Amino acid sequence: MKPLTSFTCKLDDAQAALLKGHLQESHFEFRAVPYARFAGAKDKLNVVFYESGKLVVQGKGTQEFVEFILEPQILGEAKLGYESVLNPDLLLPRLGIDESGKGDFFGPLCVAGVYVNGTIVNAWKEAGVRDSKNISSDKKIADLAKLIRETPGCVTSVVPIGNEAYNRLYAKMRSVNTLLAWGHARVIENLMGQKHKMIPPPVRAISDQFAADKATVGKAIMSLGREIELVQRHKAEEDIAVAAASILARNEFVTRLAALEKQFGMRFPKGASAAVDLAAKEFVVRFGAGELPKVAKTHFRTALRAQGLPEPPKVEWKRPGKGVEGR
């Protein structure tokens, strides 16, 4: 097994003071790092403690530093190597669901799901499977997606919702969350249709809580999906099953966006930005507004700007249950 080369955790002020004292006594070379309270380096080991309270340890010697300095002397606990003992849920057979493309004007919405069990989780420990938002390289995403699909015992499903289908569904549902809930439910149903391949069968499905009301997804769940527990929580990508799903979804999104670029002979920037606005205007000039639904999510304000149309006033968001003044 490869030694650990990266580690993150949270420290309180007292722990941070202890760590800084240790680094000083051990003759770490301190340097300035943006948004960091302090940062030190020694023998290819880098230790950075950020203003947010997050500690990042990187480099050769990370594992030794965590096991012999950080955990016993600073944190007062031993977790490294004992994660599955301390949290048995990490090895439970489960489904992870995630999506990609929700915030991108150009390109489809892709929802993916992955079945994992204890053997699969252990096989991925050193592979770098993590939330796709923390992976900047499309090639790395593709490599990890291939690894996930080829892992023995792993079962996957990807549901791409192309732009024209997305725009039709949005016109009918009038809600991104409702559309997303349908996508999640469809993936869970597809996976549960392959339950015979899952050994042992999953006990729950985990996804990010993207809607204020958890019932949004619950109402969309189909017949097979009702056989298991649905767990929605914030930062669900911290679970390796959801992280793997995020990688498959992102790989599908990137692949399909590249295909659209090739089809229309122009670059479609990811996300929603000034560069996206420029590309949208260029597309309308070259191909006409009637073609926009083939490549973009037309309920975005970007679509109005691209066509030179006025934008409606932004509606102030109010917490559900609160009254509206003047009513």
CA dist 112 and 100 (Å) reads 9
For 90, counting Cβ atoms within 10 Å of its Cβ (0-12 exposed, 13-18 middle, 19+ buried), the class is: middle
Query: What letter would DSSP give residue 106?
Result: B
Query: What letter would DSSP give residue 3?
Result: P
Average model confidence (pLDDT) across the chain = 89
**CA distances for 39 relative to 5, 25, 60, angstroms:** 17, 14, 16
Q: What is the pLDDT of residues 54-112, one digit of tens each?
A: 999 999 889 889 888 898 888 876 554 434 443 446 668 999 999 999 999 999 999 99
Concatenated DSSP letters of 116-173: E-HHHHHHTTTTT---GGG---HHHHHHHHHHHHHSTT-EEEEEEE-HHHHHHHHHHH
CA dist 118 and 230 (Å) reads 19
Mean pLDDT score, 230-258: 93
CA dist 115 and 124 (Å) reads 13
CATH number of 88-255: 3.30.420.10
CATH domain 6-81 topology:
TATA-Binding Protein (3.30.310)
CA atoms within 13 A on the CB side of 107: 29
pLDDT of res. 136: 85
Q: Band the pLDDT of 324: cuts 50, 70, 90.
A: very low
Q: What is the pLDDT of residues 265-309, one digit of tens each?
A: 999 999 999 999 999 999 999 999 999 999 999 999 999 999 999
CA dihedral 195, 197, 203, 207 (to 10 degrees): -80
Give residue limits of the domains in the chain.
Answer: 6-81, 88-255
**If you count DSSP H runs as helices and E runs as strands, how many of each does the chain have, helices first?**
11, 10
The tokens describing 217, both together, are 């997804």
Run of H or E residues at 257: helix 240-264
Q: 101-115, 238-252, 308-322: lowest mean pLDDT where?
A: 308-322
